[in-house]
Amino acid sequence: MSYPWTRVPKDVPPLDHWQLRLLPVADRFMAVMWSRPGGLSLRTTWVTPATIWLGLAVVVALGLPGLGAVAYGIASRQVLLALGGLIATALGGGGGTVALYGIRQRRLLRARGRQHAA
């Protein structure tokens, strides 16, 4: 029995042109976080619900404050603050990309299910 936060479908995940655009960023972010899936790419691996929520949390906790830090660092001419904000914004962007990739996987699976049911 699998835990709800780690439960993924048994099928191969669907892939469309939007995901192909997100895939390089999502794969690099997962590599930077030392969280490589079994196939070493999200192309053939499902993003778990826990990873989707964690990615969204990273956007809120790092990405948005990072943008504020960049703006404040530039306005006050504090290079280190702007640099730290830039790093936080990049991490937030990577987490958001992984979350968006996983959400897209679920939406494509639902669309596929509706086509087969009709």
Instruction: Supply the DSSP symbol for 60.
Output: I
Average pLDDT, integer, range 63-76: 98
What mean pLDDT comes out for the span 45-55? 93
Q: How confident is the prediction for the chain on average, in pLDDT?
A: 91
pLDDT at 18 over 80: yes
Q: What are 35-49's pLDDT values in tens digits?
A: 877 767 899 899 999
Spatial distance between the Cα atoms of 67 and 34, rounded to a whole number of angstroms: 24
Note the pTM of the prediction, 2 decimals: 0.88
Determine the pLDDT at residue 1.
55
Element (H, E) at 30: helix 17-32
Whole-number Å distance between alpha carbons of 29 and 19:
15
pLDDT at 81 over 90: yes
In the block, tokens 């914004």 appear at 89
Q: How many CB atoms lie within 10 A of CB 54?
A: 16
Report CA-CA distances (Å) from 58 to 20, 61, 89.
Answer: 22, 5, 10
* Domain ranges within the chain, ordered by starting residue: 17-117
